[in-house]
């Protein structure tokens, strides 16, 4: 296999779409069928060898049924169980339990794969954190609102609501692991008074401030848990071929809330430190056109002056997939200019269709990896 393409795509509310396809109302069912057909067209046009889907259907049976409809040239990688604990997906109602993470492999490609057992993930994160992350949970502290004041809620803990899934893939005889993630949203439904542009807006809305910081604290610790897993893998294999992909619900740079309260960004924390370059993760969009590096258009009511074109969906990869001579090279190397947000494909598919057939509010993100030339003796 001379090259392979990895695509990460958040297919908005795909589990709800599956419900719509059996709706008793013919009009609603027809709209769902239009969207189903559009998603199938976009997946076909993306032409990925490995497709990572976030906001996928709930459970193996529904996922298999959905992807049989929209991705007939692919097989979904499952664990072979109805036990949701095996996937680490919590929540059972329509709001909390309908955003699963799935990998699809092109059936015609020489690619096979299984999913890492969560016991192995949790053993490695526990060891790398010196026991701070144990059995999939960890201590965390964040503010809480008490009347008009803020107090620190010290003794809390957190764990992944949507546990990362790791594809242990073999591509043309070479082994690579892909960490599929959909981290916690920073969105809050907490109301506020006054205008976000008011100088005293945050001072007058302590409950909102508490919720904003709590959400960001939780998502940052989820990022740290992923980094614990990655560092544990590097401790065993300094040249580990690792790709991190998915909807990370954050992008490079500092939003208004980060600038005011935290002053860091999640992607920087996930990538690692350049001083430990062998463990640093490169970003697929590093050499993509700057004005095309966005995957979602979202107007933040708390940051009205911010550009609404934001990058939430990412692909990052370890040094063995680059030209770094400090590590043993993987059989495939990231293609120069091979990373992109699939604006053209998304527009070509959705452009001729009505609003109800919109495939997703997220644009897919892709990266191509080429097989390295065999060294001549």
- Cα dihedral 66, 67, 70, 72, rounded to 10, equals -140
Q: How far is CA 340 from CA 189, 324, 334, in A?
A: 32, 22, 12
Write 87-93 long-range contacts (CB < 8 A, 24+): 87/118, 87/163, 87/165, 88/118, 88/136, 88/160, 88/162, 88/163, 89/58, 89/161, 89/162, 89/163, 90/161, 91/161
Strands (DSSP E) along 57-173, which ranges?
Answer: 74-76, 100-106, 111-115, 133-134, 137-146, 149-158, 165-171
Cα–Cα distance measured from residue 255 to residue 307, given in angstroms and rounded to the nearest whole number:
10
Cα–Cα distance measured from residue 89 to residue 132, given in angstroms and rounded to the nearest whole number:
21
pLDDT at 278 (0 to 100): 84
pLDDT at 376 (0 to 100): 42
Encoding tokens for residue 173? 């005889």
pLDDT at 174 (0 to 100): 95
pLDDT at 122 (0 to 100): 97
pLDDT at 168 (0 to 100): 98
Are the CB atoms for 90 and 161 separated by under 8 Å?
A: yes
Digit-coded pLDDT (tens) for 232-271: 999 999 999 999 999 999 877 677 888 888 767 788 889 8
Coarse DSSP helix, strand, coil percentages of the chain, rounded to the nearest 5 percent: 30, 30, 40
Low-confidence ranges of the chain (pLDDT < 50): 94, 376-377
- Dihedral over Cα of 258, 262, 265, 266: its sign: negative
pLDDT at 316 (0 to 100): 97
pLDDT at 266 (0 to 100): 83
Q: Quick one: CATH architecture of 3-371?
A: 4-Layer Sandwich (3.60)
The residue among 313, 293, 291 whose CA lies nearest residue 361 is: 313
133 φ/ψ angles, rounded to the nearest 5 degrees: -105, 105
pLDDT at 377 (0 to 100): 36
Are the CB atoms for 175 and 241 separated by under 8 Å?
A: yes
């Amino acid at each position: 296999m001379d090259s392979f393409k990895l695509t990460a795509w958040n297919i908005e509310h795909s589990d709800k779409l599956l419900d719509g396809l059996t709706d008793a109302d013919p009009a609603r069912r027809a709209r769902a069928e239009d969207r189903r057909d559009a998603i199938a067209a976009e997946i076909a046009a993306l032409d990925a060898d490995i497709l990572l889907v976030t906001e996928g259907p709930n459970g193996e049976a529904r996922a298999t049924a959905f992807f049989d409809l929209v991705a007939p040239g692919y097989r979904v990688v499952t664990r072979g169980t109805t036990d949701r604990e095996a996937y680490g997906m919590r929540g059972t109602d329509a709001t909390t339990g309908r955003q699963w993470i799935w990998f699809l492999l092109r059936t015609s490609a020489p690619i096979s794969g299984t999913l890492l057992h969560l016991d192995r993930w949790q053993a490695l994160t526990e060891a790398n954190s010196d026991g701070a992350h144990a059995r999939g949970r960890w201590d965390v502290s964040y503010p809480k609102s008490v009347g008009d004041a803020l107090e620190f809620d010290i003794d809390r803990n957190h764990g992944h609501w949507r546990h990362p899934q790791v594809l242990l893939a073999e591509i043309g005889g070479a082994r690579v692991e892909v960490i599929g993630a959909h981290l916690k949203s920073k969105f809050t439904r907490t109301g506020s008074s006054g205008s976000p542009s008011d100088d005293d807006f945050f001072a007058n809305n302590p409950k909102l401030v508490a919720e904003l910081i709590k959400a960001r604290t939780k998502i940052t610790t989820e990022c740290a848990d992923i980094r614990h897993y990655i560092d544990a893998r590097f401790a065993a294999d300094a040249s580990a071929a690792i790709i991190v992909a998915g909807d990370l619900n954050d992008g490079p740079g500092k939003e208004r809330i980060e600038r005011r309260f935290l002053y860091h960004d999640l992607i920087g924390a996930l990538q690692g430190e350049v001083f430990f370059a062998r463990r640093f993760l490169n970003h697929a969009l590093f050499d993509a056109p700057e004005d095309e590096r966005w995957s979602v258009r979202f107007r933040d009511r708390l940051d009205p002056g911010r550009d609404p074109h934001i990058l939430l969906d990412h692909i990052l990869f370890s040094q063995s997939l680059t030209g770094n001579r400090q590590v043993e090279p993987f059989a495939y190397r990231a293609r120069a200019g091979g990373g992109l947000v699939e604006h053209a494909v998304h527009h070509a598919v959705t452009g001729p269709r009505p609003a109800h057939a919109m495939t997703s509010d997220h644009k897919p993100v892709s990266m191509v990896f080429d097989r390295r030339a065999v060294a001549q003796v």
